[in-house]
Structure 1
Amino acid sequence: MLVVSTGDLMMFGISAVALIVLAYVIQKTRLGRALRAVSFDRDTAQLMGIDSTRIIQLAFVISGILAGIAGVFLGIKYTLYPTLGSLVVKGFIASVIGGLGSLTGAVIGALLLGILETLLLAALGSGYSTIAVFAVMLVFLLIRPQGIAGSNVQEKA
């Protein structure tokens, strides 16, 4: 039997809307085009007339807004305690599995990590499931370091 609380559904809905808005901004607006250009090659973007410093600042503002939304959800769902920051590690693992630099990959990685962790919690218990999740991340780093939907990225000087 599947039990989902109203609060969880509300958080899912708001997260889905935020994700759709983010995807729209990145793919369909001038700001998104500028963000992609600066992330690909900052110098060339500046030559094309893009104020890369301003775009980088806007990227930090957008990430701060999304982090604020996530923080509110954590405050609603969990009791706040000092080690709550360990959930950030799960976000990192999801981005490694999905592929850094890919919004679609991040969503796929998060869903796979959630399903995997739920199955491992039921099978192994809470102590071993964390170890198994880290092992899966290491396997991904060894076999496919760019993640599921990521691409090979060059190191920029």
Structure 2
Amino acid sequence: MSAASTTPARENDTAAIRALLESSAAAWARGDGAGYGAHFTEDATDVTFTGTVYHGPAEIGGAHQALFDSFLKGTHLTVDLLDLRFPGPDTAIAVTRGEVHKGARPRRLGKLATYTLIRTAGGDWRIAAVQKTKHRPLTEALTFHTRPKTRPAPRPAA
């Protein structure tokens, strides 16, 4: 996290954003599409790791409900916050590692997501955009081996 995140206000914002992500994962675990969609702003975009783009909480929630009622039935969403920064007083960017799974927490979290979050007029944080991608460790390792300058610098945990 950036140095700005260590102020008491940023500590509160960080806790609120963690709570938002945990709440969205809890809605997922309940199979509650509308509850999941409620974590997004009215003009939000959700880009899935398959490349589908959903807009707004109703569409995001409705699409997820269809998934929860079918092949995502009984699944859980695990999300670990890797990086959080605040480019403005009411804007945050979070990078997470996660996985959709049944049962116990998976050993490997193979998906990454970048969230753009905003503070609403009421003071709550909401997801304005999320972009998900699958982590490809073998491709990444090969790239780092053949082109060492592509390896990013180590970063402290969020």
Normalised to the residue count of structure 2, the TM-score between the two structures is 0.28
Q: Which structure carries more strand by proportion?
A: 2
Higher relative contact order (Cα pairs below 8 Å, separated by 6+ residues): 2
Normalised to the residue count of structure 1, the TM-score between the two structures is 0.28
